[in-house]
Homo-oligomer: A and B are copies of this chain.
Amino acid sequence: MNFGVIGYGYWGPNVVRNLATLEGSRVISIADLDPAARQRAQRAYPSVHVTSCPTEVVTSTKIDAIAIVSPVWTHYELAKTALLNGKHVFVEKPFTLNSAQGEELVEIAESRNLKIMVDHTFLFTGAVRKMKEMIDDGSLGNLYYYDSTRINLGLLQHDVNVLWDLAPHDLSIMDHLIPGDPEAVGATGEKHLNCHEDVAYMTLYFPNKVIAHINVNWLSPVKVRMTLIGGEKRMVVWNDLVADEKVRVYDRGVNTETQEGIHKLLVNYRSGDMWAPRLEPVEALQQEMKYFVECIEKGTVPFNDGKAGLRVVRMLEAASESLAKRGALVYL
């Protein structure tokens, strides 16, 4: 399968490296507007065609699939042209600038039987796979909440706020792990340095009283990547910054018994063992690229397809709307 890659900045080299070493795929063209990036690409891959013109790549008849690793405002045009030229599309998160763009891309792909995969890389980590497994096999029981903190010092984006920059990770993981779709979104936050929020908080209401909360912050002196998932039977703490035992499962919780009378709820705390399952030491992006090639070859629908990307974009849109209304609930 011949690949063209658009964008060779921070993440692009990783995508190219994985496609280049993957059996069954080959990178034949790379486009980037920056001459320095093109030089780096050409030096690393002397036999690949390197160009400053993305259109050349997305329309090339020699190419089967396109990886779009360029800024979010370029996704829609590039993906649309690629799809209209019969190419499968792998695209960076967030999928598109808004849901209208995403819907159109999903429709075009479906009508032409082409695959879209949105780069929700975290779904392919050993940690998320293990949590997915535990939720699916009932180890956690009914879910209560999903609570994620993703903060650090860094103001990388001039075109989006901190929610669109950092929350796609949490939203795609949450979308993958929690059964059902959120019904409503509320978001609060504040701008301190420019016209985009640099601190923001997001609450999502799911059916069955499942609540999700996401704390993102570009102005934190310390880096935190911590997610708690509370279930009726067990609870999980995922700390992505520790070297070992990233996922810890706690056999702790609350046992409630039928109310006796009207004011009595018998509550017993359950404090049991903690268990840190061994996680597969895999490179997530490698797994993801391999899965993309397989989905194309076998004609199967990836779980992180355009619709998954679109769900995340809709949540971000709703969050932006709520943010503008200082937290008022927005229904999805």
Contact A276 B275 (CB under 8 A): yes
Query: A190's closest neighbor in chain B, by CB?
Result: B211
Please tell me if A184 contacts chain B, counting CB pairs below 8 Å: yes
Contact B215 A147 (CB under 8 A): yes
3 closest Cβ pairs, A-B complex: A221-B250, A221-B235, A186-B327
Instruction: Using CB atoms and an 8 Å cutoff, list the residues of chain A in contact with chain B.
Output: 46, 144-145, 147, 149, 151, 153-155, 158, 184, 186, 188-194, 199, 201, 203, 205, 209-211, 213, 215, 217, 219-223, 228, 230, 235-237, 241, 243-245, 250-254, 256, 263, 265, 267, 269, 271-278, 322, 326-329
Among A151, A222, A269, A326, the one with the most B-chain Cβ atoms within 10 Å of its Cβ is A222
- Contacts A186-B327, A230-B221, A263-B158 given; indicate if A278 touches B271 (C-beta within 8 A): yes
**In the complex, what's the smallest C-beta–C-beta distance from A241 to chain B, in angstroms?**
7
Q: How far does the alpha carbon of A254 sit from the alpha carbon of B154 in the complex, in Å?
A: 8
Contact A222 B199 (CB under 8 A): no
A-B contacts, 16 of them at CB < 8 A, read A144-B190, A144-B199, A144-B219, A145-B219, A153-B253, A186-B186, A192-B209, A199-B211, A201-B213, A203-B327, A217-B228, A222-B237, A223-B244, A251-B278, A271-B278, A273-B277
Contact A194 B265 (CB under 8 A): yes
Q: How far does the alpha carbon of A201 sit from the alpha carbon of B200 in the complex, in Å?
A: 12
Q: How far does the alpha carbon of A219 sit from the alpha carbon of B256 in the complex, in Å?
A: 13
Chain B neighbourhood of A278, CB < 8 A = 251, 271-273
Q: How far does the alpha carbon of A184 sit from the alpha carbon of B328 in the complex, in Å?
A: 13
**In the complex, what's the smallest C-beta–C-beta distance from A68 to chain B, in angstroms?**
23
Query: A154's closest neighbor in chain B, by CB?
Result: B269
- Contacts A188-B211, A269-B154, A277-B273 given; indicate if A253 touches B326 (C-beta within 8 A): no
Q: How far does the alpha carbon of A276 sit from the alpha carbon of B221 in the complex, in Å?
A: 14
Contact A193 B276 (CB under 8 A): no
- Partner of A147 from the list B154, B217, B275 (CB cut-off 8 Å) is B217
Contact A153 B271 (CB under 8 A): yes
Contact A273 B274 (CB under 8 A): no
Contact A223 B243 (CB under 8 A): yes
Chain B neighbourhood of A154, CB < 8 A = 269
**In the complex, what's the smallest C-beta–C-beta distance from A122 to chain B, in angstroms?**
19
- Partner of A209 from the list B191, B251, B271 (CB cut-off 8 Å) is B191
Chain B neighbourhood of A277, CB < 8 A = 273
Chain B neighbourhood of A243, CB < 8 A = 223, 241
Chain B neighbourhood of A217, CB < 8 A = 145, 147, 228, 230
- Partner of A327 from the list B215, B221, B253, B329 (CB cut-off 8 Å) is B329
Q: How far does the alpha carbon of A192 sit from the alpha carbon of B272 in the complex, in Å?
A: 21
